[in-house]
A and B are shown apart, each in its own frame.
Chain A
Amino acid sequence: MLMFKRNLGKQIVIFMALLAIWGSVYLLIQTGIINPFYELNLILIGINIILAVSLNLINGFNGQFSIGHAGFMAIGAYGAAIITIKAGLPFPVALLFGAVVAGIFGILVGLPTLRLRGDYLAIATLGFGEIIRGVIVNIDYIGGAYGLSGIPKMANWTWVFWLTVLTVVIITNFINSTHGRATVSIRENEIAAEAMGINTTKYKVMAFTIGSFFAGLAGGLHAHYFYTIQPGTFNFLKSFDILVMVVLGGQGSITGSIIAAIGLTILSASLQSLVSLRLVIYALLLIIIMIFRPQGLMGTKEFSLSVFGEKSKDKGEKQHGTSIGQ
């Protein structure tokens, strides 16, 4: 609370800026200046930011390498779609339901697998992503391999924008909380964290569950923007797309994830007609980043408002905060 009051001025400025972005884009969409293609990409940017930031919580901040994020997105998408199609309940309820179910699966998957480390965890999460997809393909009630269509189009710019903001705010606040610090300490050195009395299992599962919850939210938005969902949409490649955003932006940097999500969504939109070329570029990007800048564009630094001339409390922070990809 103290933090909140101290930064109140700054937060009002941020809120006004967000309101201005939302409002101006909203007007441009209403007046037709932003055509449906650009609108679609704005929506995709929002969804991708939610996905990248939530995966960054697991991979970047908690240091647990997960590559099955699309599986949780699938659960959220199907969960939310079932609520609006089959039960006819309102959209916010559907979104919440999808996210909660994804979160519950996060706990179920996290509890056993988070005992594994490094590459074993990676392969187990990949396996879970594939199992989820494999099970969805086999359930006729939700369309099986053909997918589920006729989902009402309820997600729009307003929903996506504010839910993206909400996700970023919640995850940022989580990281800066006591729980979040404990989560980050596990990334730095799991054995040391445990020796300091941190319940590593609890915090790993917590980070994994929050990450899955927001992946589910992104899935629900995706389903209600594109009318139709197919199990194939949420395959390993989708998980990989999200992973590239996290790695490119910097594992452990929220602003890095946001910048990478925006940049890569625009890149992939401009290469839409050349899917193979897009993925070759992604793959090379990933290899080159790993060899020359394994910490990503931002490393674990955050881009802060101090660039706008505001005096930063921490000198060091200012120094780092002002330089992207130095």
Chain B
Amino acid sequence: MEVFFQQLINGISLGSIYALIALGYTMVYGIVQLINFAHGDIYMVGAYLGFFATAILGWSFIPALLLAMIVCAILGVVIEKLAYKPLRNSPRIAALITAIGVSLFLEYGMMLLVKPDVRTFPQVLSEVQYKLFGNLVITNRQIIILVITVVLMLLLQYIVHKTRMGKAMRAVSYDKQAAQLMGINVNNTISFTFAIGSSLAAAAGVLVGIYYNAINPLMGIMPGLKAFVAAVLGGIGIIPGAMAGGFLLGIVEAMVSGYGKSLYRDPAAFIILIIILIVLPAGLFGKNVREKV
């Protein structure tokens, strides 16, 4: 039982990272129906920016986080303008292939830039362990990850539901053409969505750097894919679904590792994906939409 609760704690902090990345996937998918494969790599770029700000510029944690979020928001918009926008009216497969291309470009471009070595993240926050009931341990880093995730999610909920831009986002994801007819600037709205999604991924990247202390240029591949699994799990395009899916996936993974099958951690996520796609293709929170002829 102790293993169970300890892995639950670990799973929630791991899951919050997946949830942050999954939010970007789900928002972009909801608005342009594109699996943005490059999203996991924006998370990697975010981690490197965090590393740059803390290790080289010597900034503290919060400014580093903000820097990574802002720069990645710009990066997300630039990628959208250069690579995805010209393909908005092409078949979806063309956009998907482009996204894979952008993903590889970021990974190996970064590798040329910073060398493939694993970098050690500076100890911005020294680890403190708190004992909960009995032998359960929670660290200050896990608490910080969870708090920042929750704050960002609340902020996102506020933006999506209470602001004009959020209203525009919802309108565009509902019906792009109708939104345009109502005077919404679709291009700006899409850019804004990419900016928000990318900044959340960057935040996840910095948090992972703090949590695991190690980053490398290919670190985005697996979490990126798993965050996508999380988004599908929750019902792609649905924001609360992505959060729930992220936490659920993190918990499942921590459980698989906790019970001694850590090598099966990665396959487990994909097995969940396949089961969900086959049994419940619309995800846990989604409604099944029939394809129009």
Contact = CB atoms under 8 A, between A and B. Distances in A.
Contacts of A285: 101
Given A124-B273, A138-B263, A276-B112, A286 B278 contact: no
Contacts of A280: 104-105, 108-109, 112
A132 B111 CA distance: 27
A25 B185 CA distance: 61
Given A280-B105, A280-B108, A127 B98 contact: no
Contacts of A65: 93, 96
B278 A113 contact: yes
Contact of B270 (A115, A117, A128): A128
B62 interface: no
A52 to B, nearest CB: 15
A65 B100 CA distance: 13
A276 B111 contact: yes
A138 B97 contact: no
A318 B258 CA distance: 64
A112 B277 CA distance: 9
Contacts of A113: 274, 277-278
A285 B293 CA distance: 34
A287 B101 CA distance: 6
- The size bracket of the interface on A is 35 or more
A9 to B, nearest CB: 39
Contacts of A152: none
B270 A279 contact: no
Contacts of A264: none
B211 interface: no
Nearest to B83: A287
Contact of A294 (B90, B228, B273, B278): B90
A322 B263 CA distance: 52
Interface in B123-173: none
Contact of A134 (B35, B83, B228, B267): B267
Q: Which secondary structure characterizes the binding site on chain A? A: helix
A29 B75 CA distance: 50
B98 A286 contact: yes
Contacts of A134: 263-264, 266-267, 270
Given A122-B35, A124-B274, A131 B267 contact: yes
Contact of B86 (A128, A138, A291): A291
Contacts of A116: 277-278, 281
Q: Which of B34, B101, B109 has the most CB of A within 10 A?
A: B101
Given A191-B293, A276-B116, A127 B274 contact: yes
Given A113-B274, A118-B92, A283-B108, A123 B35 contact: yes
A120 interface: yes
A236 interface: yes
B225 interface: yes
A236 B224 CA distance: 13
Contacts of A275: 108
Contacts of B109: 276, 280, 283
Interface string B266-283: 110011011001100100
A130 B266 contact: yes
B91 A284 contact: no
B267 A287 contact: no
B69 interface: no
B267 A135 contact: yes
A137 interface: yes
A240 B104 contact: yes
Contacts of B74: none
A290 interface: yes
Nearest to A145: B263
B105 A287 contact: yes
A117 B92 CA distance: 11
Nearest to A122: B96
Contacts of B97: 243, 247, 286, 290
B126 to A, nearest CB: 34
A191 B111 CA distance: 44
Given A124-B277, A294-B90, A282 B83 contact: no
B107 interface: yes
B7 to A, nearest CB: 20
A277 interface: yes
B221 A236 contact: yes
A275 B107 CA distance: 12
Nearest to A287: B101
B232 interface: yes
A138 B264 contact: yes
Contacts of A290: 87, 90, 94-95, 97-98, 101
Given A113-B277, A286-B97, A290-B94, 6 more contacts: A128-B274, A134-B263, A280-B108, A280-B112, A284-B105, A294-B94
13 contacts: A67-B100, A113-B277, A116-B277, A116-B281, A119-B96, A120-B281, A123-B277, A134-B267, A138-B263, A286-B97, A287-B83, A287-B105, A290-B87
